[in-house]
Structure 1
Amino acid sequence: MKITGIQERRDFLKKAGLITAGIGLSSPSVFSISDQHPNPVNKLPRWRGFNLLDFFSPEMEKGRKNPPEHLQWMADWGFDFVRIPISYPSYLNFDRSKPILKEEVLNFDEKSLEQIDRLVFHAINRGLHVSLNLHRAPGFCINAGFIEPYNLWKDQEALDAFCAHWEMWSKRYQNVGSDKLSFDLVNEPYMRQDPNDQHSPGGPVPVEDYYRVAKAALNTIKKISPERLVIANGNGGGGIAVPELADLDLAQSCRGYHPMIISHYKASWVYKEPDTLPQPAWPGEFNGQFLSREMIENHYAPWIDLVKKGVGVHCGECGAYNKTPHQVFLSWFEDVLDVLYDNGIGFGIWEFSGTFGILNSGREDVDYEDWYGQKLDRKYLQLLMKYA
């Protein structure tokens, strides 16, 4: 679908709810709160947008593809950011009938890389900043269900391969400015006792190991692109700020999933018996704990300390799974967004279209609006546009 010409654009914006009686195209958004709270100084822009899961699967053709019109809708709705989490096997050529081998982790496939290029440049051409992320990296992924040939946090071979991947990306996009493209090193560092069991216990990566890995990759990138903006995820699955990295030229990425009983309610990859969970409330009691905005403020206090110390912070992933009751989700998420906004921190919803998205989420308690053949959660969109 293409949106061209003045009349087509006006029709699009009218359907989007951006033209109402007495409000012209040049007027401030009817949903904007930008004049209500002064932001503290954050070294990162307050980017607002979405993750695109086109290359999230290790098999390139199985990603959740976003056509160009999705990027156009984001831009027209006032968003300016996309994060692209990539599973590194998606752009390799290797025997997919068995676990990947050490000797295969650098078999870059040019045709697959060109598919990623197209998405990157489609986004940039619409004024969206792109954050390129290795969601699965050589030797690590927070998700289970596959076997890596080594451990990124412990094995030098894995670290060498990790740096080789970032060397490739740095050279590939050497001529793209840092205002348009940043690198997000590795998604949600975590140490699981059994990396092949999603429910296996675990916790933060030892900070000395995280520091060593992050520094090596950062140095690899900076040798090629000294001005490239590089981001490190929070430890322990993304939620723990890492002040120990503050002496490196790194921004940091937090998560908007606290508490997970709200964000990942009945998610089978988080809870062994999801259907036994009682229904949550926000604010309200849940299993003897009172859930409230105060717990959100306490959760982000270490991240706000990083901002105050001059470390750029962005919330690279946030939102809620479609099993969370819709009104509970919206009430909780407004508190999350408001705390982030008050501290100058932008956000990236986990996906645009899908179970966490504003389109085609599959929620059973939403009165969807038809949007060019897609199912739009208008209330969710309006909440996000308050902070766009």
Structure 2
Amino acid sequence: MANNKPTFNRREFVKKTSILGAGLGIAAHTAFAAPAVKPQNKLPKWKGFNLLDFFSPDPANTRKPTTEDQLRWMADWGFDFIRIPMAYPFYLNIDRSRNITPDEVYKIDEKQVDKIDKLVQTAHKHNLHVSLNLHRAPGYCVNAGFHEPYNLWKDQQAQEAFNFHWNMWAKRYKNVSSKKISFDLVNEPSMREDMNDQHSKRSTVPGEVYRKVAKAAAESIRKENAGHLVIADGNDVGSKVIPEITDLNIAQSCRGYHPGIISHYKAPWANKDPENLPEPKWPGQVGDKYLSRAMLEEFYKPWIGLVNQGVGVHCGECGCWNKTPHAVFLAWFADVLDILSSHGIGFALWEFRGDFGILDSGRSDIAYEDWHGYKLDRKLLTLLMKA
């Protein structure tokens, strides 16, 4: 009589249940997969200030130097970054009673270089990352006031001098970690019809030209240390990403000044007719535009896209001149910082002490707090600390 009792094949059972389990695992993974990880900015989310000690091309006409106490306050408040915008003539030994010649661009004054180095070393003592920037480079500056002998974007002679200066700084900090120092090539590039008239017609630096200049400068820096961190300011005075250099391992620096009617209200260097401008509001209708957070979101989309591509991004300058009503400034700036911060992008306020700063800004519409003899804008400081 036949045995109808089902037989048990252990090997077949294990095989089938393994396949089933794997299938369930795949299904479970698909159903309960973690959301995609938000791309991380390749640069740290540095927060800090621009220090204008060497901003003037004439060392006889400079601001009061940043003190060690001020650097200590920055660190104590939780900041970890300073950007030093330099005018290259500051550290040249030249006759300032006449226009500079191309040959004189190479006449380095070591005493002046040592002054810059002292600020760098003191900042490092307080664990502040230092970003050296040529605010005025041989052949280009976003501001007039010093007669350039050539054009950085057009003249090979200017580009060779540019590389010379960056190689000098790279050599000086050859053995300093990129965690402590970076090299920001040139402040707010643009093409101008007249390099010595900041109000002359302006346009975008052609991408292939920017690439050539940035690539050569980065190579002159990394010749001293392959690990040196190089940063390039956005095209069109810092406002636009530079797609032509994304393969060069160069970080990019945006700006926190959009729209200019808020950040540079009545600023004479930024407006041809500063006294006849519509009063700023945030949000609100200003002239023919409605200003809002949505406008900012659109402005920063390309920069956020750059982070998503794996390119490091930092906001090297941001802030507001002291003629914008303080409440409008803070409302606008809170949105700027929130957008940047939510995408891991750090910032450096222009400046620490002065018209844009947290100390001695000269505003007429706020009550300052006394801070060791300085006038502190506590509301602005609190906003920066929270970002």
Instruction: Indicate whether the TM-score tops 0.5.
Output: yes
Tell me the equivalent position of 1:43: 42
What's the counterpart of residue 15 of structure 1? Answer: none
Residue 312, structure 1, aligned to residue 330, structure 2: no
Output the amino acid matched with 1:192: R
Q: Tell me how far 1:40 sits from its aligned partner.
A: 4.2
Structure 1 contact 40–344 (Cα < 8 Å) conserved: no
Q: Any idea what the Cα deviations from partners look like across 1:79-101, whole Å, max 9, x if unmatched?
A: 00000000000000011011111
**Aligned AA (1:120):** V
Does residue 261 (structure 1) correspond to residue 243 (structure 2)? The answer is no
Mapped contact 2:54–2:86 kept (Cα < 8 A): yes
Task: Report the counterpart of residue 169 of structure 1 in structure 2.
Answer: 169
AA of the residue aligned to 1:54 = D
Contact 1:39 1:344 in 2 (8 A): no
CA-to-aligned-CA distance 1:302-344 (integer Å, 9 cap, x gap): 0011100000000000000000100000000000000001110
Q: 1:297 matched to which residue of 2?
A: 297
Q: Provide the secondary structure at the position in 2 that maps to 1:232.
A: strand
User: What residue identity is the alignment partner of 1:52?
Assistant: L
- Counterpart position of 2:285: 285
Letter in 1 for 2:206: P
- Give the partner amino acid of 2:340: L
Deviations 1:331-362 (A, max 9, x none): 00000000001110000001100000000000
Please tell me the root mean square deviation across aligned C-alpha atoms, in Å: 1.0
> Which residue identity does 2:62 align to in structure 1?
G
SS of residue matched to 1:314: strand
Larger Rg: 2
Q: Give, in angstroms, the shift of residue 195 of structure 1.
A: 2.0
Shift of 1:201: 1.8
Q: Counterpart of 1:13?
A: none
Which 4+ stretches in 1 moved above 3 angstroms? none
TM-score, structure 2 as length reference: 0.89
Cα deviation, residue 193, structure 1: 1.4
Give ranges in structure 2 of 5+ residues lacking alignment. Answer: 1-36
User: Secondary structure of 2:160's match?
Assistant: helix
Change (3 A) 1:334 1:300: same
Q: How far apart in 1 are the matches of 2:217 and 2:292?
A: 38
Q: Which has the higher contact order (CA 8 A, sep 6+)?
A: 1
TM-score normalised by structure 1 residue count: 0.89
1:40–1:342 contact (8 Å) kept in structure 2: no
- Corresponding residue of 2:93: 93
- 1:236-260: CA deviation from partner (whole Å, max 9, x where unpaired): 1011111111010100000000000
**Is contact 1:39–1:342 with CA below 8 Å preserved after alignment?**
no
Match of 2:14 in 1: none
Q: Which runs of 5+ in 1 are unaligned?
A: 1-37
Find the aligned partners of 1:94 and 1:120 in 2 and give their Cα distance. Answer: 24
Q: Does 1:138 align with 2:169?
A: no
Instruction: Report % sequence identity.
Output: 63
Specify the alignment match of 2:156 in structure 1: 156
Report the CA distance between 1:198 and its aligned residue.
Answer: 2.2
Query: Matched residues in 1 for 2:38 and 2:80: separation?
Result: 18
| Counterpart residue identity of residue 97, structure 2 | S
2:349 paired with 1:365:
no
Equivalent residue letter for 1:305: G
For 1:60 and 1:209, how far apart are their aligned partners in 2?
Answer: 32
Residue by residue over 1:31-68, the C-alpha shift from the partner in whole angstroms, topping out at 9 and shown as x without a partner, is xxxxxxx9740000000000000000001242322111
Alignment length (residue pairs): 350
SS where residue 130 of structure 2 aligns? strand
The one-letter amino acid of 2:83's match is R
> Which is worse superposed, 144-153 or 371-380?
144-153
